Amino acid sequence: MRVRSHSFSEFYKVRVRHVHLDIRPQFDRHELDCIAVLDIQRENSWPDAPVVLDTERLDVREVSASSDGSNFAPVSYELGQQDQVLGQPLVIKAPPPTIKLKIVYSTSPDASALQWLEPNQTASRTLPFLYTQSQAIHARSWIPIQDIPAVRLTFSAVVHAPPRMMALMSAGNNEQLTHDSPYHFRMEKPVPPYLIALAIGRLDFASTGYRTGVYAEPSLIHRAAYEFGDTEKMIETAERLFGLYRWGRYDLLVLPPSFPCGGMENPCLTFLTPTVITGDRSLVALIAHELAHSWSGNLVTNKNWDDFWLNEGFTTYIEHRIQEEIYGKDRVEVEQVLSRLSLDEEMSKLENRDQLLDTDLTDRDPDEAMTLVPYVKGALFLQTLEQTFGRARFDRFLRDYFDHFAFQSVTTAQAKQYIRDKLLNSATGRAAPVPVDEWLSEPGLPPSAPVVEARVLTSIQEAALRCAAGMPLPRQEAAGWDSHQWLYFLNELPADLTAAKMSQLDAEFGLSQSTNSEILARWLLMSVRNGYHAADPRIEEFLTSVGRLKYIKPIYEALVATPDGRTVAADIYDKTKSFYHPIARTAVEQVFSQALTTRDPERAVAHSLEHSAS
């Protein structure tokens, strides 16, 4: 079925304006028992249009409608045909004067947004844990909704958390554990559905500033509070550059290590992987990034997933600006060099259509099309505009952009027009034209793309060259390197190193024992690629204890490239499956099936038939 927008809902006919959720988590069954009440608003030209909602594996038990807001009567509804990527449309016949719909339903234990963790999969090992990850199109697996970022809605919720467990949502939260009553939430600003988020677990709170704080499992709370001590400063910086922070509080929630993302910008409450807690604040670019989404993404939102670069490219650019103000230009340059290297490496393997900023993801799963292109190429495009028009002018442009489109979802075409009007059609723009269409609609990077260099890396590049030529890396030389310099060093080493060289580096610098997750993940990936088997136990330990896709997917990819590695990977995956979030499971299973396709096309067909049969 061709549905261009990743949603069955015909939201231009009838629009959901608010959803109220009553949520009863069933930790034993891995199900949410819910009642959703939707406020709907009709366009006059479509008086008889049914309300079409997106759902995925929801068990819908009852749908009723109300024309006065309080009395509900059952109405007829139908779940349409199941689509692999999009789920099922829920078609509700509710002609005017219906203003509210009530849906009684339960989620499936296999809901793609939800991860249910057993007590032994959490740090405290005493109580279970539940959290959601709705981006890109997983909100429909726990809420029947028009699951498309073009639709913005407010929400409220009542969550009946079990005793001793705290419930949090992407809305105003109370910092205290509520003992005898359910948790109440209200998000007053209209947000796209992918920003509705929930977590329930044994959590503590620590304040880090007058409007910032962190929630984490008790054993992590002090380390987390130290690690994220700069958050308030980051908000102040972003406000000074790009306008007021409009969401009230900004808290962080540190999730168990299976969280498949680095971070997720759920409004008022960024969700985070614990792998950024290193003790030295070296990976807090991630906080700058998720915070930046409070402007680019949450305030001004991509209208479709085709416009994803409007979220991530703008955010990556702002992330760099926040970091520059707080940690200085050197650090940003290093991060820019590293991300450019990763972009080049990734882009060299991508089909042309995946190298564009203005993409067309029709008939594709947006999760599968996730690459660095919208992030890094998007940020480079904005950097080009900054360099062409000057910082003062470009900053004003961004502030105006956020004001102009505040609380709206916009397309690439709209943003492009805005850039044309405000920048390109000015005298400067005509004198120094930026090839906008090439940036947006051509593969690769325009030849005029900015080249980032970091002075502090020159000596490290030389060290990598010497090391590659067989010379040892003197301990004193590397003694002063911070984690970014180490990462750069590892990146600059040739793709193939002998096991002896790997072993020498490991013995000297303890890389297999690194407490910095970026360094460790990179080192373990190199270990697989170079057949450095001394790291095998560490690889297994890592893959079984971390579910962050950015780290584990490349390692699985490297493992499945050899027959022995594939056996190892399959064994590890089999025993770790239930620890991974459903989104991570899908991604890793994709790695296995792609390995099958390239190696043995016939078996791959048999394999996929087996799967579709079950």
Active-site positions read 290, 375
- Choice between 371 and 388, CB closer to ligand BES: 371
- Choice between 152 and 293, CB closer to ligand BES: 293
Amino acid identity at 447:
P
Amino acid identity at 110:
D
- 307 contact choice in ligand BES, Zn ion, none (CB below 5 to 8 Å, kind-dependent): none
Alpha helices in 469-581 (DSSP H): 475-479, 483-492, 499-509, 517-529, 536-545, 549-560, 563-576
Output the smallest distance, CB 250 to ligand BES, in A. 14
Output the smallest distance, CB 372 to ligand BES, in A. 8
Q: Which two tokens stand for residue 11?
A: 């939201």
Q: Are 489 and 458 in contact (CB under 8 A)?
A: no
- Is residue 135 near ligand BES by the rule CB under 6 A? yes
Phi and psi at residue 474, to the nearest 5°: -60, 135
Q: Which two tokens stand for residue 526?
A: 């190199």
Burial of 73 (0-12, 13-18, 19+ CB in 10 A): exposed
- Is residue 227 near ligand BES by the rule CB under 6 A? no
Q: Are 604 and 592 in contact (CB under 8 A)?
A: no
| Segment lying near ligand BES (by CB under 6 A), choices 40-48, 101-109, 257-265, 565-573 | 257-265
Query: Number of helices (H) and strands (E), helices first, in the chain?
Result: 20, 21
Q: List binders of ligand BES among 264-283 (CB under 6 A).
A: 264-265
Residue nearest to ligand BES (CB): 262
Residues near 218 by beta carbon (within 8 Å), at least 6 away in sequence: 123, 124, 202, 203, 204
- Exactly one of 20, 102, 538, 550 binds ligand BES (CB under 6 A); that residue is 550
DSSP classification of residue 420: I
Output the smallest distance, CB 581 to ligand BES, in A. 11
Output the smallest distance, CB 394 to ligand BES, in A. 22
- Exactly one of 23, 113, 136, 525 binds ligand BES (CB under 6 A); that residue is 136
- 268 contact choice in Zn ion, ligand BES, none (CB below 5 to 8 Å, kind-dependent): none
Q: List binders of ligand BES among 368-427 (CB under 6 A).
A: 370, 375
| Segment lying near ligand BES (by CB under 6 A), choices 151-159, 261-269, 596-604, 605-613 | 261-269
- Is residue 261 near ligand BES by the rule CB under 6 A? yes
- Is residue 290 near ligand BES by the rule CB under 6 A? yes
Which is it for strands 31-42 and 14-26: parallel, antiparallel or unpaired? antiparallel
Distance CA(374)–CA(351), nearest Å, equals 14
Q: Are 11 and 150 in contact (CB under 8 A)?
A: yes
Q: What track of x and - describes contact with Zn ion for positions 298 through 337 (by CB under 5 A)?
A: --------------x--x----------------------
Which is it for strands 114-117 and 153-159: parallel, antiparallel or unpaired? unpaired
- Is residue 335 near ligand BES by the rule CB under 6 A? no
- Exactly one of 255, 286, 369, 543 binds ligand BES (CB under 6 A); that residue is 286
- Candidates 548, 578, 582, 580; CA nearest to 112 is 582
| Interface residues toward ligand BES, by CB under 6 A | 135-136, 261-265, 286, 289-290, 293, 312, 370, 375, 550
